[in-house]
Structure 1
Amino acid sequence: MFMRLLLAMPLLFMPNMLHLSPETGIPGLNLANIIFIVVAMAVLMGGQRYRPLQPVGRITVPLMLLFAVLVLGFAIAQATMPRDTVEDLTYLKNMLFFPLMYFVYRRCGQDTKGTRQLIIFLMIVAAVAGIEAIKEGLDYGFGNYNESRRASGPFGEDYTTANRAGVFYAMFLPMFIAMALFFRKQKFWRLAAIGGCLIMAVAIMATYSRQSYLIALVGLALLLVRRNVVLAVVIAVLMVPAIGMLPEGVTERVAETEQQDRVGEQHLDTSTASRFEIWDGAIRMWGDHPVGVGVNRFKQYIGNYVPRYAGYDAHSIYFLMLAECGPLGLLALLYLFWRLLRMGMEFTRSVPGSDAEAKALSLGFILVVISVGMGNVYGSPFFEGSVMANFWALCGLMEHYFGLKRKAAMPGAAAATHAQPMAARIGSRFPLAARIAPGRYGSRDQGHGT
């Protein structure tokens, strides 16, 4: 129980770094980082119980490849444009640190019940973060859209982090939807999941993040199609008139994607158009630097290609990796996403039809991975610890959970028979031999019969 509580602490602290993690005075480390380090040390020194079920994790190789590419990118940055080495090391540390949660939680050492409880706790933390965004939205009012009045929940103190908050909520929404759809007999958890869906949906609206609206709709559509095609069509038809019931600020925000000029021609809004210009600059940057400009150098270079956006972020992890780490960095990232999807699909294939809980978790996880991939198209929160740390923990917990499921599904009788001595196995297969020679081929009770 103590270890389970210890494992739960990083899940609580990581998304709430700004609220619960004051600076410690150690450069690059806050309280959440230190708590995770303590948990990692406890797991690593925990002995046989905390060894992973499989020696090599399903995404260990792609993560190691990505780490190697990032370190190479760091070396390129130091060689071509040396700056503040401590700042660059802190930046690299943040990129490498949070995915380590996968390695810790895949060897959490919990049984099926304990692993399930940690997954549920992780989702509760996500729902509480959503409630904070809803509270901000109510304080601001769901009226006309205002750029500076967007909810960001625990992920920032102003509207500038609203898109990251939206990605976080859209990322965990599919897990709640999957449980609401597939938990037929577990009424309490189904109602709790429906409540989680509502919280996540309203939180996403409060962020006014258009990419998060799209991610949430895609996740819902895919799960509905998987559950019941007819149901998916019915809900899609009902959603058309329901759009008019959304808060005016939400529909206004979506409508801003295209605007009319004075002569009635359609143009993309400034936010959308700026991304296309920055992405074009990123491609030209890569053209001039085929191996990349180096980690943490995009902002210094982008002004050379798009002067009006000097010092801006790439607003897409894919263009950022291409510009900073070259094609190798982009391929490493895409390979990691592919392996994550394969892991989710393997979970789904291993689930028996009667296990509603495992089916919901496996399908929800696949959609979580897709949501993460989509959430980094229009932004770059992939290495943001507050947004992504619990995703990596979820990956480890899911691998451990389904490893336990596979272990439990092994034919118990066959395993026990294999462990028996040869004579006892002969006795169990040929009862007459056990009756004739009970001391040799079976127990004496078995020989006498009943």
Structure 2
Amino acid sequence: MRDIFLLIVMLASIPYTLKRPVVGALMYAIFSLMNPHRMTYGFAGTFPFVMIIAVVTLLATVASKEEKKVPFLPVVIQLLLLVFWVTLTSVFALNSTGAWDEWTTVMKTMLIVVLTIAVVRTVNDVKALVLTVVLSLGFWGFKGGLWTIATGGHNGLLGPPGTYISDNNTLALAMITSIPLMVAAASFAPTKWTKRAAIGVAVLTGVSVIGSYSRGALLGGAAMMLFLWLKSHSKLKTGLIFALVIPLLLVAMPPAWMERMHSIDNYQQDASAMGRLNSWGFAINVANHLPLGGGFATFTPKIFQIYAPDPTVFYVAHSIYFQVLGEHGYIGLFLYLLLLLFAWRTGSRIVRKCGTNPEYAWAATTARMCQVSIIGYMTAGAFLAMAYYDLPYYVLAILVCLEKVLFIAPQPDNTPPLRLPFLSRSKQQRDAWKRPEAAAAPRKR
């Protein structure tokens, strides 16, 4: 039944995608981030939903008469430079077959991110993009939070199999990165109830992070809460919430969770931690010997025999930084860090341009929360090989699209926005989506 439902949803989206390519970009984000097809038990598990959506969206973008614009901001230029560099390193990769397979996967992500930036044209498009990301990962956060509460935190969490977020650690990183976006969605929620719903999902997602038993997520969550508090308009209120809620959640967790978190202090006795140090040493050795790095898929037992400090112990990179360093060298790591820096500066520029204009308050909040997401990703990602995960690149796309639609290429008044009634604030505005002729008519008292 789930398989048929997903197929119907995908097919139903095609006419809308042909009319407005941004619909296809949002559908791609849903299947890429939520992975609903991985929760089925029939043909949908292997059906090429993502490929079909991508092809239809690309064709619709080429055929559409809508204006497509990719603003060449520093962060976009930096993304293209990174794409060029990882392509160059793939040519000289140590593991040629695995490198080109990984290159194909990464380039799909990069292409859809650039395509999303091009087809997002209106304020409502940007809000829809934020909501799509929030709902896609909020599903797992909501589900995981309820599961953690129901089991008392005794059972860990797992994501959809065969995806970037299949295990507890990677799922926790995705949750950490998405929580600030849920706060951003609350800033432009049309009613108090939808705002409370967004905050409620954010809280449950925070509970799911704690219930994941991920030590990297614990550190990422701490860093993110610090910056979330710094970016908050009401620091006293936010600080009191953190001070009251977080200790209660930690105390409620079972002894096994406490033991897992305390193992951070005893990393010398932790085989996993020592294995990570060996992998990081491997990445440094590869970068020192090969200016281009080893290329994609360098972390293999065979190559470990050559460059690892202890060739008998094999672990994957377990860090976005050492993953990029080992695969693309010091120049690749520099380009990657510069991309994150430019994304951060894009957020700061948006906040500065929004100023105190109340009409742009939601945009300023969204930009700040994207910055908090970047901090959470960079902190938790220091212990996970998630350098090419889709979510941080969608955060980048949200920032670029925000600046594009507000300050670079504001949408003309006569251009129809994406019709999403729940994005409009007042009842009169929501009625206008359903019956445009009612917008000009005076409301009866």
Specify the TM-score bucket, using the shorter chain as the normaliser: 0.7 to 0.9
CA distance in 1 between counterparts of 2:211 and 2:368 reads 26
Q: Percent identity?
A: 19
Aligned to 2:253: 247
Give the residue type in structure 1 aligned to 2:341.
W
User: Unaligned regions of 5+ residues in structure 1, if any?
Assistant: 25-29, 260-265, 413-450
Pick aligned residue for 2:220 from 215, 222, 229: 215
Give the equivalent residue in structure 1 for 2:290.
289
CA distance in 2, matches of 1:143, 1:122: 26
Shift of 1:162: 1.5
Q: Note the alpha carbon deviations across 1:197-231, whole angstroms, 9 max, x for none.
A: 12211221232112112222322221222324444
Deviation at residue 99 of structure 1 after TM alignment: 2.1
Aligned ranges 1:348-367 → 2 under 5 Å: 348-353=351-356, 354=358, 355-367=360-372
Change (3 A) 1:223 1:331: same
Question: Residues 42-441 of structure 1: matches in 2 within 5 Å?
Answer: 42-47=60-65, 49-52=66-69, 55-77=71-93, 81=94, 85=97, 87-134=98-145, 137=148, 141-144=151-154, 150-154=156-160, 156=162, 161-178=167-184, 187-226=192-231, 227-231=233-237, 233-235=239-241, 237-238=243-244, 241-242=247-248, 244-248=250-254, 249-259=256-266, 267-299=268-300, 300-304=302-306, 305=308, 306-310=310-314, 312-353=315-356, 354=358, 355-384=360-389, 388=390, 390-406=391-407
For the aligned residue pairs, the C-alpha RMSD in angstroms reads: 3.2
Could you state the TM-score of these two structures normalised by the residue count of structure 2?
Answer: 0.76
Distance across 2 between alignment mates of 1:6 and 1:184: 23
One-letter amino acid matched to 1:190: K
CA contact (8 A) 1:151 1:159 kept: no
CA-CA distance at 1:347 after TM superposition = 1.5
What's the CA shift for 1:32?
1.3
Contact 1:317–1:379 at 8 Å: present in 2 too?
yes
1:43-74 Cα offsets, whole Å, 9 max, x none, are 23313x2311x542442211121112211211
Residues 299-325 of structure 1 show CA distances to partners (whole Å, capped at 9, x for unaligned) of: 232233222323x21111211222222
TM-score of the aligned structures, taking structure 1 as reference length: 0.75
Contact 1:303 1:309 in 2 (8 A): no
Cα shift readout 1:85-130 (whole Å, capped 9, x = no counterpart) = 3x43221111222122221111224422243123213211111122
How far the C-alpha of 1:170 sits from its partner, in A, is: 0.4
**CA gap 1:240/1:46 in 2 versus in 1, 3 angstroms:** closer
Q: Which has the larger radius of gyration?
A: 1
Partners of 1:62 and 1:256 in 2: how far apart? 38
Asked whether the 8 Å contact 1:285–1:302 carries over to 2, the reply is no
Partner of 1:212: helix, strand, or coil? helix
Distance 1:403 1:206, change over 3 A: same
* The 10-residue stretch of structure 1 (205-214 or 268-277) with the greater mean CA deviation from structure 2: 268-277
Distance across 2 between alignment mates of 1:142 and 1:133: 12
Residue of structure 1 in register with 2:426 after alignment: none
Partner Cα separation in structure 2 for residue 201 and residue 195 of structure 1: 10
Aligned residues of 2:179 and 2:206 also touching (Cα < 8 A): yes
Aligned residue type for 2:90: F
Match of 2:7 in 1: none
Are the counterparts in 2 of residues 116 and 401 from structure 1 also a CA contact under 8 Å?
A: no
Worse overlay, 359-368 or 288-297? 288-297
Aligned partner of residue 217 in structure 2, secondary structure: helix
SS at 1:67 equivalent: helix
Matched with 1:23 is: 46
Contact 1:101 1:396 in 2 (8 A): no
Is 1:8 the equivalent of 2:26?
A: yes
Once the two structures are TM-superposed, the CA of residue 38 in structure 1 deviates from its matched residue by 2.0
**C-alpha distance in 2, partners of 1:400/1:184?**
19
Q: Contact between 1:314 and 1:320, CA under 8 Å: does it hold in 2?
A: yes
Q: Aligned partners of 1:137, 1:296: CA distance in 2, in Å?
A: 34
CA contact (8 A) 1:107 1:396 kept: no
| CA drift at 1:186 | 5.2
